[in-house]
Amino acid sequence: MKIAINTGGGDAPGLNAVIRSATKAALRRGWEVVGLRNGYASLYTDNPGEPLTHEAVKGITMQGGTILGAANRGNPFEIPVLQPDGSYIYVDKSDQVVSKLAEMGVDAVVAIGGDGSMHLAHRLSEKGLKIVGVPKTIDNDLVGCDTTLGFDTACSIATEAIDRISTTAESHQRAMIVEVMGRYAGWIALHSGLASSADVILIPEIPFTLDSVIKKLDDLKKHGKEHALIVVAEGAKLKDGAHFVKGKQVGQAELLGGAAAWLEKEIMARTGQETRSVILGHQQRGGRPSIYDRLISLRFGAEAIRAIEVGDFNKLVVMKENELRRIPIADVAGKFKTVPLDSDTIMTARDIGICLGD
Ligand code: F6P
């Protein structure tokens, strides 16, 4: 048996722990393991993969990033190719991916990724590739699972950063706005905002009004609190408004951002209160995974090998109600999970007086 492992999409803390456990579990069964570099990109080169050995995965459980490299432009169905006139054409190399893996003698692929990677995995499985997926994304927006690897670490980093920023808010009687990642879902904002006792949390699932935010700041002042902490998801949007978009790069999803800067300007203009905004950015994806992320990543990696061992292909290994399960990749491909408005987390935020902007 020979398997390949790839890490697609953005990096997330915990990827290396999956690579380690999947590799070791496979090697212990006498299988061969090959690591694909930068998503599927190495399959179009002369060096399509590198052998993963016990030595290669030694000591990587606690390392952030991915030893295999990641690729946001890694969709083999639409590879952007720069033309002499500066425009791009898109080339479909998906057949090459399938044939190259067959040529290398690869029987199955462990694809570690988020919604984009699972969408690709599903399309490649329709071309005959045998895949087992592992759910990765700091955004926690993959359907069918309670949590994805990287999310816990991202929330911890965001919470710690917001805690630190709150001291400046208090000392200077400022409104401090912290913009966190999460794409079109508010999981990171909601969890880190709650954990750091934010006064206002704005998430894409609940379009906000500026009036609602200003009213909360006024209420705080009436109760003697001169400073405020606002956590805003990068995907937050105004009622009847669109997401704040920073830009779009070739072959990639749109880049969200700008909500915090917009709020800073508007709050200062409307209230005169000293206001500052901070964008946490990629540090939320960086560095060592939390203990929880290390553990689920190790469990996901070994479970993927157990799935391959019994021929349970085209499944995504997930954590559901605290148990490992396998669900069809087809059921998650092309979908994404937002924060349910009736979730107890939302109700808790409201019950303790946090303004959600509506
Ligand atoms: O999906 C993970 C994520 O970090 C999102 O939260 C964010 O919107 C996006 O990736 C940023 O992408 P990039 O690394 O390409 O800037």
Q: Is the pLDDT at 263 greater than 80, yes or no? A: yes
Asked if residue 285 has its Cβ within 6 Å of ligand 1, the reply is: yes
Asked if residue 182 has its Cβ within 6 Å of ligand 1, the reply is: yes
Quickly state the pLDDT bin for 248 (edges 50, 70, 90): confident
Asked if residue 159 has its Cβ within 6 Å of ligand 1, the reply is: no
Angle at 354 between CA 353 and CA 356, to 5 degrees: 130
Euclidean distance between CA atoms 304 and 190, whole angstroms: 30
The alpha carbon of 329 is separated from its chain's Cα centroid by a whole number of angstroms, namely 17
Neighbour tally for 102: CB within 10 Å: 12
Cβ–Cβ < 8 Å for 21, 317: no
**Closest atom of ligand 1 relative to the 249 alpha carbon:** 15
Angle at 104 between CA 100 and CA 105, to 5 degrees: 120
SS3 268: helix
Supply the pTM of this predicted model: 0.96
User: Which residue's C-alpha comes closest to atom 13 of ligand 1?
Assistant: 10
Asked if residue 181 has its Cβ within 6 Å of ligand 1, the reply is: yes
Q: Is the pLDDT at 303 greater than 90, yes or no? A: yes
Q: Please tell me the predicted confidence (pLDDT) of residue 256.
A: 95
Average pLDDT in the chain: 96
Euclidean distance between CA atoms 343 and 303, whole angstroms: 29
Give 115 Cα–ligand 1 centroid separation in angstroms. Answer: 12
- The model's pLDDT over 304-348, given as tens digits with 9 standing for 90+, comes to 999 999 999 999 999 999 999 999 999 999 899 999 999 999 999
Q: Please tell me the predicted confidence (pLDDT) of residue 71.
A: 83
Between 1 and 74, the more confident residue is 1
Euclidean distance between CA atoms 132 and 138, whole angstroms: 20
Beta bridge partners of residue 82, listed in sequence order: 88
Asked if residue 255 has its Cβ within 6 Å of ligand 1, the reply is: yes
Give 10 Cα–ligand 1 centroid separation in angstroms. Answer: 6
How many residues in total does the chain contain? 358
**Closest atom of ligand 1 relative to the 257 alpha carbon:** 8
Query: Residue 293 has what DSSP assignment?
Result: H
- The model's pLDDT over 207-229, given as tens digits with 9 standing for 90+, comes to 999 999 999 999 999 999 999 99
Give 237 Cα–ligand 1 centroid separation in angstroms. Answer: 17
Euclidean distance between CA atoms 132 and 111, whole angstroms: 6
Cβ–Cβ < 8 Å for 42, 49: yes
Mean pLDDT on 137-147: 97
Name the helix (H) or strand (E) containing 178.
Answer: strand 175-180
Q: Is the pLDDT at 252 greater than 80, yes or no? A: no
- The model's pLDDT over 149-203, given as tens digits with 9 standing for 90+, comes to 999 999 999 999 999 999 999 999 999 999 999 999 999 999 999 999 999 999 9
Mean pLDDT on 271-293: 97
- The model's pLDDT over 225-238, given as tens digits with 9 standing for 90+, comes to 999 999 999 999 99
Name residues whose C-beta falls within 8 Å of residue 35's C-beta, 6 or more positions apart in sequence.
Answer: 4, 5, 6, 19, 49, 50, 51, 52, 56, 67, 68
Mean pLDDT on 280-300: 97
Angle at 144 between CA 259 and CA 122, to 5 degrees: 95
**Closest atom of ligand 1 relative to the 188 alpha carbon:** 6
With a pLDDT cut of 90, the percent of the chain lying above it is 92
The residue among 231, 238, 215, 235 whose CA lies nearest residue 177 is 231
Q: Please tell me the predicted confidence (pLDDT) of residue 300.
A: 98
- The model's pLDDT over 11-21, given as tens digits with 9 standing for 90+, comes to 999 999 999 99
Q: Please tell me the predicted confidence (pLDDT) of residue 190.
A: 98
- The model's pLDDT over 78-90, given as tens digits with 9 standing for 90+, comes to 998 999 999 999 9
Q: Please tell me the predicted confidence (pLDDT) of residue 249.
A: 77
Residues 210, 216, 218, 222, Cα dihedral to 10°: 170
Q: Is the pLDDT at 72 greater than 90, yes or no? A: no
Residue with tokens 């890490």: 7
SS3 120: helix
With a pLDDT cut of 70, the percent of the chain lying above it is 100
Euclidean distance between CA atoms 246 and 240, whole angstroms: 19
Q: Please tell me the predicted confidence (pLDDT) of residue 205.
A: 98
Residue with tokens 């190399």: 93
Strand order across the 275-279 sheet: 200-202, 228-233, 175-180, 275-279
SS3 150: coil
Token readout for 79 is 């590879």
- The model's pLDDT over 104-114, given as tens digits with 9 standing for 90+, comes to 999 999 999 99
